[in-house]
Amino acid sequence: MSDTENNIRGNHPISSIMQLSEKIVEAKRLVSKAKRITAFTGAGISVDSGIPDFRSEGGLWERFDPHEYATIESFMQNPTKFWTMGRELVETILKAKPNSAHKSLAKLESDGKLIGIITQNIDNLHQAAGNKKVVELHGNYLRAYCIECKVEYVGDAIHQRVASGIIPPKCEKCGGVLKSEAILFGEPLPERAMAEAVELCRSTDLMLVIGTSLSVYPAAYLPQLAKNSGSQVVLVNLEGINRDSVADIILRGRASEILPKIVD
């Protein structure tokens, strides 16, 4: 028996286990018949890769006040503060590996059914799992650029320097401060990424919403856009969901356990 079913057995009547099993069967049927699947992912899909949700107990925002460390204004005033927080974050991200939920989405793409992933995550794990079409609404922590000359840095070399204590990292070309591509509070979402996300929502016939409570806007409206465009929506999340009315099926549990069951 899975951990998900054990948790349900401990807190709910056995009928709830049957209900979850029936929902998984129905979700699997929707995946099977769908021709253009889109996934919309949040922090919950990466928890089993060792990256805790920033907002959860013990998460990053409990140790670092985001208003002090993670706004664009605070970065421009004192980038050392951001990179001090970033030093701890990068150690977690560099160690993380794709889990079974990421691999399930990669399988859907290789099978020709998944047309793209829209993600709020900055951890690069979808790409590491093998997905090619990934729309990153909040950027990618493993990409950086110089705020002066705009030269770009891709990969973990900059973050290895940060991990070794070189804070803030500087541009090798002009000496300017480097900024991670990850979107900070107060920065607009990338226009191109949002446009690509909207196009995916309008083109899909099934959206898998995974590991997000749909509480961060404007991204949280995207499943509703897909629904309004004729798509069915399956929500997979361990915690509560803010906009559960958008869903045709809600699966409460770990993405790493449930995704393989509905994709297999």
Of 12, 67, 126, 138, the catalytic one is 138
Phi, psi of 96 (to 5 degrees): -70, 145
Side-by-side strand order, sheet with 178-180 = 152-154, 143-146, 178-180
Report the run of H or E that residue 134 belongs to, with start and end: strand 134-136
- Would you call 138 a catalytic residue per the annotation? yes
- Tell me the one-letter amino acid at 180: S
Place of tokens 């889990």: 99
Tokens of 135: 């729309």
Give Cα 50 distance to the centre of its chain.
13
CA angle, 123 then 136 then 250, to 5°: 85
What is the C-alpha to C-alpha distance for residues 229 and 204, in angstroms, rounded to an integer? 8
Q: What are phi and psi of 37, to 5 degrees?
A: -95, 140
In this structure, how many other beta carbons lie within 10 angstroms of the beta carbon of residue 46? 28
Amino acid symbol at 248: D
DSSP secondary structure of 32-72: HH-SSEEEEE-GGGTGGGT---TTSTTSHHHHS-HHHHSBH
Q: Which residues are catalytic?
A: 138
